[in-house]
Structure 1
């Protein structure tokens, strides 16, 4: 279900989710670009990606998919693995999910230690509570999803760095025509088991906060 369905039923939720997605995707891609830049690869800086400006990172088609289908993507950060080496490439790939985990951790700590009166309004969540829970949830989803070791996702690049022979095969697949369409089709078909894994992680995090 896309974000557009929220626009008519709960406009505030639409604004909160959209803002959380823009923030989280921007930080995710910035983390890739910043880490590559720090590790000696000038490619992201030359492409204007070492910035927290969302316009530099959001992909129009990916954003449209988020609105209509409920899943999408940002613009991948270009890097040159030859400038980074094996472990530098792994570090850059891991930087995106790590940034989302850090945002999720910050929200979890705020929810854990703020008084309940700050994020509850009677029996319902306050606006602050909705924002924190939404940002937390979005970043858990992005971190776990991107760590799945399938082509085009960060998990595959981390796995490819750890197992170079597999990394070469994954790179060959990604260079194939229509590899993007094949991966998107796989994600769509496997959305139910992927959703169960992500949901289990979210439930664990929420139990930690509410315990």
Structure 2
């Protein structure tokens, strides 16, 4: 494996860092300085892609010769965007509102090459059908899976969130966790990174 450029993950998410570690590529994780909020009349997919690109661009000045990975994920249900609840109370409300519903997770991935001003980008769509949940089940899940408050839609699918899910339809099972690896590999190859 030949890594010609420094690889930076513009994320403080330990979930995404763990996913990238599975590829056994040397990388550094840098927390991006970028405000995350949806814009008026922006679709969930547009929000996810704008935030992913914004995160990558926010660290580009520090690492102008690196390849920078930016990611973001937004969930959509009942005609509204669902981000990370960040509190147990909000997670309880969010999970109660999506009980028995279909959620669409938009997972955006970008690879930015600042030296060449080249941006590769993709938004992966994953459809998740949630089980009908009681408030007791939601409370029990959140006690056992405290990290769920840091996940879009409060459903940590790689953990106990699998108990909440009836069905998943996706072209990349990694995308639901937060990092669409299949497209990232394509982007790295396009930038001359020998993965294997």
Normalised by the length of structure 2, the TM-score is 0.29
Larger radius of gyration: 1
Structure 1 length normalisation: TM-score? 0.28
Which of structures 1 and 2 has the larger relative contact order (alpha carbons within 8 angstroms, sep 6+)? 2
